[in-house]
A and B are shown apart, each in its own frame.
Chain A
Amino acid sequence: MGFGDQLAQYVVSGLTTGAVYALVALGFCLIYNATRVVNFAQGDFLSLGGLMAYSFLIGAGLPMALAFPLAIVAVALVGALLERLAIRPARSRQVMVLIFITIAASILMRGIFKHLWGKQALALPPLSPETPLHLLGATFTPQNLWVLAITLVAIVALIWFFNRTLTGKAMRATAINSSAAALMGIDAHRMTMYSFALAGALGALAGVLITPITSLSYNVGVIIGLKGFAAAVLGGYGSFPGAVVGGLVLGLIESLTAGLISSVYKDAVAFVVLLLVLFLRPGGLLGVKGRDRV
């Protein structure tokens, strides 16, 4: 295999994980824009998506076309419940406290997942049979294509939702100025709950797509979630286009450094990128330049 082929290979795998980081990063952005909270349970949405899909598919014997959408809806409900039962009743509106509520929820959720699904690794089948495909010297599986295609569809659907539907516009209005939105008769609590539900759905989608490639366990989402967070910062925290660009760029950087330099520090690369962005360009690639100073 020549260098060019290798490079193509790294690009394909980088874009695949990058697409998943993008989905996770979008989830972070949604909740951040609605509440200014960094939702540390985002990675657990991903785990739960994979686990639910596994149970619907293997446990209940449902067909894939039913099991996967059901898993996504179920996690969306969990997201909505998180907002309704933990964020909304919180006595303090301090962002710091709210962030730690999501961390506590994350610990609780992982405990429940471990209890229900066990500690062992599970296997979720890919969306279509694993016949390797060849393109430009790169060998990849149909799952790589599925990840990229479905991520693209999800992004287009989000754009449509936020620009063309009343609920989507109301959510944007709430994110921009929640008191002004409330004066216009928008139920800000409800919009925040929708943001959590949508973030849950995106996390679950990422889980259904990536766990056939990685593996599935109760805590698979922790590291992917943190890398999705790094991707969101890289793109410009809170920016939707930024989340997509950040995810793809981070996936590529990770895959290329692992392939061309060394895979030993693969898990550190994303966070080195995170630190560099914060030090050099805290607004991110597509974020606002020159953030407010104190």
Chain B
Amino acid sequence: MSAQGKKFFGYLAALAAVLALLPLVVTNPYYLNVLNVVALNVLVVTGLNLLIGYAGQISLGHAAFFGLGAYISGILSGSYGWEPWTALLAAAVVVAVVALVIGLPTLRLEGNYLVMATLGFNLIVSVLMVQLDDITGGPSGYTGIPSLSFFGAPIATDLSFYWLAWGAVLVGLILARNLVHSRVGRGLKALHEAPLAAAASGVPIEAYKVKVFVVSAVYASVAGSLYAHYYGIITPATFDIFKSVELVTMCIVGGMGSLWGGLFGAALLTPMPQLLAVVEEYKDIFFGGILLVLLIFLPQGLVGWLEGKRVRPGGRAF
């Protein structure tokens, strides 16, 4: 195993150890719930970071993929009696196809077309969630989603979901790392460093970009399905454009394109609204202000800063 690989699995083992011990300390269900939401955000952000870091593209539609995962899985199991795990897989397949349809025409083009398309897509999905009320329950949301189960035992408590969600995060990180170190990942890295050279060496850039985009959408979908089966109720406001912005923000604050960056960003920003609830009146001002300062002075993200990475002036747009 390479030195880099040793480092990755070292960190991963440390993370797993912390996660295994955390429930001994954190017993309050409220805090467990926050940790569970962090886990789901980490999962989405890990996928998103693959897209940003390796395909050099940004998506403002990941809340929609997250939401489609939640609604499809929730409705299939809630209204049509599907087995929740099967519903989760079905949702992932549908989302993959949707991402393919969006990604194929827009990723062919150079520039920020994907960000425009995903933004529009998220807004359309939000309207549909509200307006298709006989299927989705409309603005008040869809209720009565059954929990997932593990060999017949329902995953209904905060603690049992904690194991599931963070387990999914560990698997998600390993898969993402494998993708980065696969042929696709190396091709995309080459693309990022020197696009023309990569293309000249026969890297099928478009296909790789689309592949990474689809994978990142599936991460969001799975996280969304887990969310739906955990809470049992989902509302359209959870999956609006602002959630998409929040997810990308987590990537940027943590460190764009760094797998660990997503973890940091999500862990830092997820509890932020709750922490800022003390200053309820000024919540948006604080959140916007903190974000602004971080983006201006620490654009390499927290992980980049810890690694002593210097800011690369210039760089490619998207």
Contact = CB atoms under 8 A, between A and B. Distances in A.
Interface in B63-115: 102, 105-106, 108-113, 115
Contact of B116 (A91, A105, A111, A233): A233
A38 interface: yes
Interface string A100-120: 110111111111101100000
B124 A282 contact: no
Contacts, number: 154
Interface stretch (A11-19, A171-179, A191-199, A264-272): A264-272
A98 B285 CA distance: 19
Interface string A254-294: 00000000001101100110110011001000000001111
B276 to A, nearest CB: 10
A203 B317 CA distance: 25
B31 interface: no
A230 interface: yes
B252 A97 contact: yes
Contacts of A271: 119-121, 123-124, 127
B120 A101 contact: no
A94 B124 contact: no
Contacts of B299: 90-92, 94, 97
B9 to A, nearest CB: 30
A169 interface: no
B108 to A, nearest CB: 6
B300 to A, nearest CB: 8
A93 B313 contact: yes
Interface stretch (B140-148, B167-175, B286-294): B286-294
A293 B120 contact: no
Contact of A100 (B106, B124, B252, B285): B252
A181 to B, nearest CB: 18
Contacts of A226: 119, 123, 241
Contacts of B136: none
Contacts of B123: 226, 267-268, 271
A237 B116 CA distance: 11
B42 to A, nearest CB: 19
Contact of B108 (A109, A111, A293): A293
Contacts of B6: none
A180 interface: no
A44 to B, nearest CB: 11
> How extensive is the interface on chain B, given as a class?
35 or more
B313 to A, nearest CB: 5
Given A91-B311, A96-B58, A275-B117, A265 B127 contact: yes
Interface string A60-73: 00000000000000
Contact of A115 (B106, B117, B281): B281
Contacts of A110: 284, 288
B282 A111 contact: yes
A115 B284 CA distance: 10
A107 B291 contact: yes
B206 A107 contact: no
B177 interface: no
A93 B296 contact: no
Given A92-B313, A265-B131, A279-B105, A294 B284 contact: no
Nearest to B314: A93
Contacts of A282: 105-106, 109, 113
Nearest to A230: B120
Given A93-B313, A95-B318, A101 B110 contact: no
Contacts of A189: none
Contacts of B285: 108, 111-112, 115
A294 B296 CA distance: 29
A36 interface: yes
A259 to B, nearest CB: 17
B135 interface: no
A289 to B, nearest CB: 12
Find the residue from A91, A106, A264, A265 having the highest chain B CB count within 10 A: A91
A59 interface: no
A109 B288 contact: yes
Contacts of B291: 100, 104, 107-108
Interface in B149-178: none
B287 A268 contact: no
12 contacts: A94-B312, A94-B316, A108-B288, A110-B284, A111-B282, A271-B127, A278-B106, A278-B113, A282-B109, A291-B109, A293-B109, A293-B110
The 6 closest A-B pairs by CB, nearest first: A111-B284, A108-B288, A107-B288, A95-B317, A92-B299, A111-B285
Interface of A: 36, 38, 86, 89-97, 99-101, 103-112, 114-115, 226, 229-230, 233, 237, 264-265, 267-268, 271-272, 274-275, 278-279, 282, 291-294
Interface of B: 52, 58, 102, 105-106, 108-113, 115-117, 119-121, 123-124, 127-128, 131, 195, 199, 205-206, 241, 245, 248-249, 252, 256, 281-289, 291-292, 295-300, 311-318
